[in-house]
């Protein structure tokens, strides 16, 4: 076996643990992990990683690039979004293909392929969003056969044409059980949420509370009731359920209890729920921080970190859905009109490294487990992504634990003219990133190529 490139002398970290070792690459694959590999391949390019950590490229399995939403289109497209990912050490993104109007799931898949193909700098896939059970349900088997075994349903967003009712959730979970597929669910309780929003939607309250109404109208029970309900549908159908962007301590407890009685449910949280809290809404520019679900309280943060450590939270993602100041400005004082979403894929690894690993909340091994191994396994990409081992794609990130960089939207790849973490000094940005053997970040600068990324077909989903 000849090696083209060898990353030497670094500390290799996988979900199994840490070791001092070299990593050898041949073409697009990892071909050996061991010591003294450079001696066996004198012609190989050597990348010295002394004092650095060598990790599998992360997966961010929850992003929305150039997505039409609330009268705007999210500002990171398949180019800036994947460049931002590369600089954040993310080498695979999974988006959501949303049928527009009467489109089929397959038509939405084709629409997303057309958007991503020439722009994406890293590999990608998407979950198929079921917006109408009667039309999309019968397509599920064909989508799995096509390589798309993950589906998404929203329990809210009736006005946007996205909402699924209990019948759609029950049926989709039943189908997932038959198809070795997985259902991702946005769990919030729609009718009670609508009621709370209506009660607060008055000129007087909007003038008084501004963006704080976003948090005031979404108490924790809005998420908890929906999670409890959909867990019941998973329990009775046996369908694999994945709660996206879980944001509350109440949700973490429900998932833990369900897992203990054998319900096939896993949970994802997002970085913003681990490091931001709802005091941000009181800032003069607090409306910028609106995402959905909204950021919660310190107590919720601590419970979610604990859930990562204990295991009931299996995945961290970002729900990247970037809107710039002008787009966010559409709110004009009415919190129900703020395009909801935050930039995030570029800062996931540094935030988790700095606020998780360096503060002793999770280990670096756990970070790799939650952002690489577990998402790869659950989404049906294990064997190719999420690990450093022979046969896996050479998707690799090297971080320097000593190098801190201040977050500044002006110098970042993300197409946002603000950042929720502006000025935060973070260690863990990617010094080097490799995507299928090709170096795409060098010395913290993006050097990749548009269209390099490939769509990733998958056979099944939901197995940890
Ligand atoms: Zn989302």
Q: State the distance from the centre of ligand 1 to the C-alpha of 389, rounded, in angstroms.
A: 31
- Please give the chain's pLDDT, 464 residues, in tens: 799 999 999 999 999 999 999 999 999 999 999 999 999 998 899 999 999 999 999 999 999 999 988 889 999 999 999 999 999 999 999 999 999 999 999 999 999 999 999 999 999 999 999 999 999 999 999 999 999 999 999 999 999 999 999 999 999 999 999 999 999 999 999 999 999 999 999 999 999 999 999 999 999 999 999 999 999 999 999 999 999 999 999 999 999 999 999 999 999 999 999 999 999 999 999 999 999 999 999 999 999 999 999 999 999 999 999 999 999 999 999 999 999 999 999 999 999 999 999 999 999 999 999 999 999 999 999 999 999 999 999 999 999 999 999 999 999 999 999 999 999 999 999 999 999 999 999 999 999 999 999 999 999 999 99
Hey, what are 209's tokens? 């509370």
Q: State the distance from the centre of ligand 1 to the C-alpha of 430, rounded, in angstroms.
A: 24
| Locus of tokens 């949280």 | 269
Q: State the distance from the centre of ligand 1 to the C-alpha of 145, rounded, in angstroms.
A: 25
Q: State the distance from the centre of ligand 1 to the C-alpha of 270, rounded, in angstroms.
A: 10
Condensed to tens digits (0 to 9), the pLDDT of residues 149-188 reads 999 999 999 999 999 999 999 999 999 999 999 999 999 9
- Residue 435 near residue 402 (C-beta atoms within 8 A): no
Q: State the distance from the centre of ligand 1 to the C-alpha of 391, rounded, in angstroms.
A: 31
Q: State the distance from the centre of ligand 1 to the C-alpha of 70, rounded, in angstroms.
A: 13
Q: State the distance from the centre of ligand 1 to the C-alpha of 63, rounded, in angstroms.
A: 6
Cα 450 to Cα 82, 118, 119, 121, 453, distances in angstroms: 9, 6, 5, 5, 8
Q: State the distance from the centre of ligand 1 to the C-alpha of 66, rounded, in angstroms.
A: 12
By DSSP bridging, strand 425-427 and strand 315-317 are: unpaired
Q: State the distance from the centre of ligand 1 to the C-alpha of 243, rounded, in angstroms.
A: 11
Beta strands in 271-382 (DSSP E): 315-317
Hey, what are 188's tokens? 């919030």
Please tell me what DSSP assigns to residue 340.
P
- Residue 409 near residue 419 (C-beta atoms within 8 A): yes
Q: State the distance from the centre of ligand 1 to the C-alpha of 284, rounded, in angstroms.
A: 25
Question: Nearest Cα to 164, choosing from 186, 195, 181?
Answer: 186
The three-state secondary structure class of 134 is helix
Q: State the distance from the centre of ligand 1 to the C-alpha of 64, rounded, in angstroms.
A: 7
Q: State the distance from the centre of ligand 1 to the C-alpha of 385, rounded, in angstroms.
A: 22
Cα 373 to Cα 7, 52, 100, 163, 215, distances in angstroms: 21, 20, 32, 31, 33
Q: State the distance from the centre of ligand 1 to the C-alpha of 19, rounded, in angstroms.
A: 35
Q: State the distance from the centre of ligand 1 to the C-alpha of 132, rounded, in angstroms.
A: 18
Q: State the distance from the centre of ligand 1 to the C-alpha of 204, rounded, in angstroms.
A: 31
Q: State the distance from the centre of ligand 1 to the C-alpha of 319, rounded, in angstroms.
A: 5
Distance CA 356, CA 275 (A): 9
- Residue 116 near residue 78 (C-beta atoms within 8 A): yes
Q: State the distance from the centre of ligand 1 to the C-alpha of 67, rounded, in angstroms.
A: 10
Hey, what are 237's tokens? 């159908």
Q: State the distance from the centre of ligand 1 to the C-alpha of 417, rounded, in angstroms.
A: 21
Distance CA 52, CA 400 (A): 5
Write down the pLDDT at residue 405: 98
* Cβ neighbours of 283 (radius 10 Å): 12
- Residue 286 near residue 331 (C-beta atoms within 8 A): no
Q: Judge if pTM exceeds 0.95.
A: yes
């Amino acid at each position: 076996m000849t090696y083209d490139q060898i990353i030497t002398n670094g500390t290799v970290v996988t979900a199994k643990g840490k070791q001092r070792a070299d990593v050898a690459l041949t073409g697009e694959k990892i071909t050996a992990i061991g010591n003294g590999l450079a001696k066996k391949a004198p012609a190989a390019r050597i990348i010295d990683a002394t004092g650095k950590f060598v990790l599998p490229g992360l997966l961010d399995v929850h992003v929305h690039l150039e997505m039409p939403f609330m009268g705007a289109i999210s500002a990171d497209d398949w180019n800036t979004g994947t460049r931002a990912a590369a600089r954040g050490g993310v080498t695979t993104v999974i988006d959501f293909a949303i049928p527009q109007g009467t489109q089929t799931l397959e038509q939405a898949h084709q629409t997303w392929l057309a958007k991503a193909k020439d722009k994406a700098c890293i590999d990608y896939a998407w979950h198929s969003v079921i917006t109408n059970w009667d039309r999309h349900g019968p397509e599920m088997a064909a989508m799995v056969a096509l390589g798309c075994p993950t589906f998404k349903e929203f329990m809210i967003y009736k006005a946007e044409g996205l909402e699924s009712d209990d019948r759609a959730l029950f049926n989709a979970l039943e189908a997932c059980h038959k198809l070795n597929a997985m259902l991702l669910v946005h769990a919030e309780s729609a009718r009670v949420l609508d009621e709370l929003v209506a009660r607060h939607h008055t000129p007087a309250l909007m003038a008084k509370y501004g963006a704080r109404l976003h948090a005031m109208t979404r108490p924790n029970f809005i998420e908890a009731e929906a999670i409890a309900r959909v867990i019941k549908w998973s329990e009775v159908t046996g369908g694999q359920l994945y709660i996206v962007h879980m944001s509350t301590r109440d949700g973490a407890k429900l998932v833990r209890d369900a897992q203990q009685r054998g319900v096939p449910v896993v949970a994802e949280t997002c970085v913003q729920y681990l490091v931001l809290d709802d005091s941000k809404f009181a800032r003069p520019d607090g409306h910028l921080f609106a995402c959905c679900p909204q950021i919660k309280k310190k107590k919720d943060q601590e419970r979610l970190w604990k859930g990562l450590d204990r295991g009931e939270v299996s995945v961290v993602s970002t729900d990247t859905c970037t809107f710039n100041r002008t787009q966010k400005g559409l709110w004009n004082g009415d919190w129900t009109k703020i395009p909801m979403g935050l930039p995030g894929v570029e800062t996931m690894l540094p935030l988790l490294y700095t606020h998780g690993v360096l503060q002793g909340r999770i280990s670096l091994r756990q970070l790799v487990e939650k952002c690489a191994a577990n998402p790869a396994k659950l989404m049906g990409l294990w064997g190719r992504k999420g690990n450093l081992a022979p046969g896996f794609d050479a998707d690799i990130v090297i971080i320097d634990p000593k190098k801190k960089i201040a977050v500044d939207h002006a110098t970042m790849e993300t197409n946002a003219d603000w950042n929720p973490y502006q000025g935060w000094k973070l260690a863990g940005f990617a010094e080097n990133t490799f995507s299928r053997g090709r170096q795409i970040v060098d010395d913290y600068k993006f050097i990749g190529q548009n269209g390099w990324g490939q769509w990733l077909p998958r056979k099944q989903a939901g197995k940890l």
